[in-house]
Copies of this chain bind each other. A is one copy, B any other.
Amino acid sequence: MTLPSSSSVVTVGAGLFADALRAQAVDVHEVAWHPPADESDARALARVSADPRRATANAEAAARMLATGARLVDVRPAGEVLGLGREDFLHAGPPIDWARASGPMRGALLGAVLLEGLADDAGAAEALLASGSGYTLDPCHHHRAVGPMAGVVTASMWVFELEDPATGARAACTLNEGLGKVLRYGAYGPEVLDRLRWMSAVLGPALQSAVRRAGGVDVTAIIAQMLQMGDEGHNRNRAGTSLFLRAVVPDLVESGLPASDVAAVVRFVNSNDHFFLNLTMPACKLSCDAARGLPGSTVVTAMARNGTDFGLQVSGTGDRWFTAPAEVPDGLYLGAYGPDDANPDIGDSAITETGGIGGFALAAAPAIVAFVGGTVDDALGTTRRMYEITLAENPAYQIPVLGFRGTPTAIDVTRVLRTGVLPQITTGIAGRVAGTGQVGAGLVLPPQACFSAALSALAESVPGLP
């Protein structure tokens, strides 16, 4: 082929052709486009598509997700709710050990050891953790729990306990600590531990009194409302936090606690518009757990990151994790921090996207672009794109600006690989050095490799095929 010297060439897909043209000094415009699947994915897709169980199993998975409600029924210590001893630590994401743990995960674990009194200082705490013995370390997801960012949960921390009224299934999540230097972002200084102690001594018991007096709080109803009030339930929770306060304050006032404690509790929640995130997360966990373990289903039941690996779980493959290195989010940074300060993606909070809100409901929260970056059109486009990779629309969670369309729910691994559209996650960004805290917030995608690995496992599980 001979090109006239004035040609420009538009190339799509494999960069090799573009590189070859550039080497010949041809003006090349590469168009961003991802092939829906590589050859191995294509073979697995064909096999999974032929699985006779798939359609029914996926319909059942989506139906169960939509049918799940979430009610906050109690607030109790994690030790009691999750059966943790002082030396048992839970963490966000797929399984990891100290050796592979990132800075913020290490920082949070150091704080946890100090909080539970297993060591007197950071040096001793680090020695204990590095020894690999004298404690257990397990994903929250293995205990019907979820934790934002590092997601470290210990016995003395209090947790929200949510229940699906239809099935009695439960899920738990810690109470949100606030912003800046906090344990979940890997900070573990004295002010972090003092705050955690106050949360266990005052905040948890106060919320327990209020929630019990109120006879529980309908978290599903608040999520439905917050989506009509500019929140997406992951990185914007201002309306959710406001509505939660409205729901508990009257009973909190009448709980018999000293007015100074009641006021301190309200001021603490008031100072942190992300407080309600720790309720959207377990609500979505309940919904996703309802879809677990359906043979043949290609529906995603968990996306979670430990700061080193991104992990995926799929209904048809049960509790197996498919992992790949976590990406660094793209976002806006606080103060003088920049991308070099950022740890890779971390936290169980992508359960919100797995449950159909968060990044999937970005169109409901156009104001969020001031916090995570991008434009309002991007926000609207993101939700529209998520309908391409999901099986259902949640009639309980409507997005007014899209004509009250339900949020895109039940991510289908085969749709992700066919379209090349990856789930959009909104996220906080932790400093990569232990002790730093939050450095920003932004947008991140899962590694496609997790989806390919899950698809391959699903393909192997198809019965009666050679």
Q: Which residues of A contact B (CB under 8 A)?
A: 225, 228-231, 238-239, 242-243, 245-246, 249-251, 253-254, 256, 259-260, 262-263, 266-267, 270, 366-367, 369-370, 375-376, 400-404
Contacts and interface: CB of A to CB of B under 8 A. Distances in A.
Count this chain's copies in the assembly. Answer: 2
B263 A253 contact: yes
Contacts of A270: 246, 249-250
Consensus secondary structure, chain A interface: helix
A370 B253 CA distance: 33
A238 B259 CA distance: 26
Contact of A253 (B229, B262, B400): B262
Nearest to A260: B254
A375 B256 CA distance: 47
A259 B263 contact: no
Contacts of A228: 230, 367
A56 B404 CA distance: 44
A332 to B, nearest CB: 15
7 contacts: A245-B249, A250-B267, A251-B263, A254-B263, A256-B259, A376-B401, A401-B401
Contact of A239 (B242, B267, B366, B402): B242
A230 B229 CA distance: 5
A243 B242 contact: yes
Contacts of A243: 242
A339 to B, nearest CB: 25
A232 to B, nearest CB: 12
A2 B283 CA distance: 71
Given A242-B246, A253-B253, A376-B400, 20 more contacts: A228-B230, A229-B230, A230-B400, A239-B242, A242-B242, A242-B243, A245-B245, A250-B263, A250-B270, A253-B259, A253-B262, A253-B263, A254-B259, A254-B263, A366-B400, A367-B400, A369-B400, A376-B402, A376-B403, A376-B404
